[in-house]
Structure 1
Amino acid sequence: MSSRLKYRRRRNDKDDVKPLCDQPQRDTPEYLQKLIAQLYGVQQESLPAFTSSSEVDNELHALVGLFLRQFVLGWYNNLAFDENGEFLNEIVALIAHLTRDLQQRCLRIDWSRLLLDDLFVVLSKHMEALREARKRVGTKFSSQDENEITANYLSLNGHFAIQLDTPERERQYMQVLVKKMMILMLPNEEAESSLSRLFAETIFGDLILRNVVENLTDNFMLWNMIKAVSEASCRRPKTRRPLFEQVSAGSRQIGHIVAYCTSVFSSKPAPQTLVTRYAVFPFMNDLVHFSKRYPLVHVAVTTTAALLEKSEKFNHLCSNVLNNLVHNRILTSGTISSAVRALRHTMFPADENFNTTPRYVPQTTEELDEIKLNAKTAMDKVFSHPYLDTESFLDSFEHKTINKSLLWNILDLLLMNIFPELKDM
């Protein structure tokens, strides 16, 4: 472990119980620096970098520090006296190794293809299987089970870890998956240590992956997330601006388009799958029923696309634009740091103790219907109402077991891209 970047922690028993007072406004850089110094006993500059982004590191250092203080140092300090904080040094260095390795793996992924093609293939199969499962209800093709729609769906498009008659299979699959991932992520000396492997598997499996799967597969959670994303996308009010400002804004937009077409991603080879054939386009067509509402326009668009996709330059240009959109709008340091911050707020609401309060669960059908209606209203504000079939889209997340199967299919897709070695293991 001597090759890793270490730091010396100034031991102060009062740090563990000192309340956060006289702090700057929460989540500002000054606030995070004070919080990190309190958690680790050193300034952030002395800590090993978790990623290549200082913005993301600010949030990760705070979250990891709170987590270690709550779940690790609390019991370790009662077992051993560690004046120099060597145990904390080792844990932070190990986590830094894992996060940097994960970042390097993510940089090798074609995120445009993954997010706009592969992901929408999974979503399209989900929607098709759910429609077929509902059609089979009450027929001889339906599964004879109490949860008829769910059983039909699992027989058509279910993840093999989700079984109605063997619920323990999901837990077994998660354990095997996490064990294989830790073998690939941990450095050799930690991979050979049963204690280090168990520690990493517990953090990633029991405290992260299991909670993500259990919490994000509730229908009200997904509807609330859809509502939040829809509201965020139309948050900017449309105001009438002077002509000069409109011309300046238009010039900036043209500059963005030129940059998206000619920037760094133009050096990458065109993808094997034509961009015009990405699964996102037929998925959106089915969602807004564009081909049924405007058949002539749909024929004209598809014919034009079929002619243009024969041009290698056109495919390269489209690939370049999508790559820039994904990396400059979605996979940004701000987006990732916001996600880490939201996780910290959920786990440690006051940046002190872990949140043990049970999350709110709708108790009545009326409450559940209201959450769904709010999500539908938010989506209708983004897209004009008759053009988007929001009802069927939101209905597809109604059943928790079906949501679990969908989420595991998405997680498998993501993890197989991050860890391609899993295919051979």
Structure 2
Amino acid sequence: MVISDGLPGPRPMAGSDTGETGNPARSNVNGMQSEHPPNSRDDAFVDEDTEAFVRRTLCSQNTLLGAGEKGTGRSSPRPISDLLPPLTSSNAIDLQLYALVSIIIREFVQTWYTRITPDQVFVNEVIRIIAHCTRALEQRLREVDLEALLLDEIPDILSAHMAAFRLAKRETTRQQALISDPRVLYHSMHPHPALSPVPTEDQPSSIVEQRENESTWRQLLVQGTLAVILPTDDFENACLRSLVAEILAEMIIGNGVSGKACEGWLLCESISKVIDGIQPATTGTERKIQEAHRSVRHNAMLHQMSNSEPTQPEPARPATMVSLASVLGLFWSLIQYGILVLSALRGLLMALSGASPLATRCVTRASSLSAGGEDRERAFAEGREPVIKRPILSMKLWSCASQLVELDLRMPWLAGFASLLHWLALAGPGRVGDTDGILDRFLSHTVQTRILNPASVPALLRTIRLAIFPNNALGPARQPPSPEEVKRIKKQCAQQLGAFLPAKAAVLLFATEGTASQCEQIEGLLDCLDDAYINKHLVFQIVELVLLRLVPELGKSGVGELIGDRLG
């Protein structure tokens, strides 16, 4: 069953009474009973290779469910969905998650556990606990307002990060600045207990103290989350709880999030991969060809202007002919722009006309878990107060994008015009942009189908896994890039961002037609991702926000109180 937020419904756990195989046919992200075939041969190869890696690591002795493939007369191996407990309600997502679990189990558990005993009972218990946690988090994820989280709360944090970084950089470059280190100034504006004190080379003790505080912060987050999610029997097992907490705190958050995901060069590479994923190959090729032709024309024009010899002036044309040509050019320009505006209005009206039957955004807490939701009048008639969501147009995503490109400094007239359109959409005739308006429903439907589509989750998890654990290994497959390579990665990211923007929009925004000048300005905008220590402030705030939305108990009680309540 697919619920209103676009996530697939829960599936029975492995080992339930579901037929001969002992595990039901689990629905994938599209709600189908069986796995969809891959879209390409490359995807098929990656999926088969991932499944083989999971099978070698977690299903080698096949004791997890107490039933193996021997003696069953099977000519082909049983699917992983029959051998391992479900992590989520999607087979495709489970495969990518189990690939991450396999790396963690192989590198963190099997390296020492296999020296003690050859059995897999302890490893199986760890896998069962991880499966229980992921299913519990999936159920909690259904109650989270993902639109507000991704379009309002996280962009708000990013906007504050960019503002603080630019202010710190500007103040520390002044001639009479009291503080010369931008890290100190940034941390004073956005202090975080895990990043205190500011590590400096002059004081080696500050580096050690900051690492200890960061490790303590990770342990508090994980222990508090496990105190809410884990069942009582598993939580009372101190050895098992400590091992799972160590895996989550050190391997995932410490090595993956804090260690690698905060590096500026890795963030630039991630942006480049996202652009490659959302940009069609044909569009990118055509855009490169157009830019190459434009560059050739521009260079040819400069060469002709520099090497041209003085020629005789052209004979003066009558004033009537000049005025007639100007009038005709203006006339045809008006016709072209008029056709463009009418086409845009026609497309907008057709899109908005189809938004009226879409689901309402004013839902009650009880109806938020049902398909389609309910109308505001029905909620009031039944005595339930509806949850009024914030309009999509009023979310921080738009102001964050404006601040990212410094729109108020580059094109203040456009920023003012956008503010006027925003006010007209929210408070103007029809209130089309207000909550549950026609435009608001259309934008919400677009976000649900394009951004929050569960079908894109497996590819995203695979990209994250390959970025954090290249070649399915804990150690990095390559050395950290040199300063020259970091500059090259940043420049390549800027070029891809410049190519992703429409040509005319890029010319208006950066006030230049040269791609080199545009890339330099985009590199200046990416400077806020250079410092890994400053990036940790941004990443840690996002991690805390996501955990508070998934586990709101962490914001109401302390970690010690939560653990004490579970242990009695």
Question: 1:356 aligned to 2:488?
Answer: no
Matches within 5 A, 1:323-362: 323-346=444-467, 354-357=473-476, 359-362=478-481
Matches within 5 A, 1:193-208: 193-208=237-252
Partner SS for 1:396: helix
Q: Deviations over 1:357-399 (max 9, x none)?
A: 45332223x3222211111111111224342663443011111
Structure with the greater relative contact order (CA < 8 A, sep ≥ 6): 1 or 2?
Answer: 1
The Cα of 1:113 is off from its aligned counterpart by 0.7
- C-alpha contact (below 8 Å) 1:181/1:419 kept by paired residues: yes
- The structure 2 residue matched to 1:104, chosen from 135, 139, 144, is 139
* Corresponding position of 2:168: 133
Matches within 5 A, 1:239-250: none
The Cα of 1:6 is off from its aligned counterpart by 5.7
* Corresponding position of 2:493: 375
Whole-Å separation in 2 of the counterparts to 1:33 and 1:400: 34
- The structure 2 residue matched to 1:412, chosen from 544, 548, 554, is 544
Is the deviation greater in 253-262 or in 397-406? 253-262
Whole-Å separation in 1 of the counterparts to 2:348 and 2:106: 47
Matches within 5 A, 1:3-402: 5=14, 26-28=45-47, 30-38=48-56, 39-40=58-59, 41=62, 42=68, 43=78, 44-46=80-82, 47-82=84-119, 85-137=120-172, 142=177, 144=179, 148-163=181-196, 164=198, 165=206, 166-167=209-210, 168-211=212-255, 212-238=257-283, 262-264=357-359, 266=361, 267=373, 271-288=388-405, 289=407, 292-294=412-414, 297-308=417-428, 311=431, 314-317=434-437, 318-346=439-467, 354-357=473-476, 359-364=478-483, 366-383=484-501, 384-386=505-507, 387=509, 390-402=522-534
Unmatched 5+ residue regions in structure 2? 1-11, 22-42, 63-67, 69-77, 199-205, 287-345, 362-372, 375-385, 511-520, 559-568
Q: Deviations over 1:34-65 (max 9, x none)?
A: 54444413532322111011111122234323
Decide whether aligned partners of structure 1 residues 64 and 298 sit closer, same or farther in structure 2, where only a CA change above 3 A counts: closer
Whole-Å separation in 2 of the counterparts to 1:103 and 1:259: 31
Q: CA RMSD in A?
A: 3.4
> Which one has the largest radius of gyration?
2
Is the deviation greater in 318-327 or in 304-313? 304-313
TM-score (norm 1): 0.79
Whole-Å separation in 1 of the counterparts to 2:261 and 2:429: 38
The Cα of 1:105 is off from its aligned counterpart by 1.2
Decide whether aligned partners of structure 1 residues 131 and 60 sit closer, same or farther in structure 2, where only a CA change above 3 A counts: closer
Corresponding letter in the other structure for 1:71: F
Corresponding letter in the other structure for 2:108: F
Identity among equivalent pairs (%): 24
Decide whether aligned partners of structure 1 residues 254 and 62 sit closer, same or farther in structure 2, where only a CA change above 3 A counts: farther
Unmatched 5+ residue regions in structure 1? 9-23, 240-250
Whole-Å separation in 2 of the counterparts to 1:195 and 1:4: 25
Whole-Å separation in 2 of the counterparts to 1:341 and 1:233: 15
Whole-Å separation in 2 of the counterparts to 1:90 and 1:296: 59
Whole-Å separation in 2 of the counterparts to 1:311 and 1:126: 32
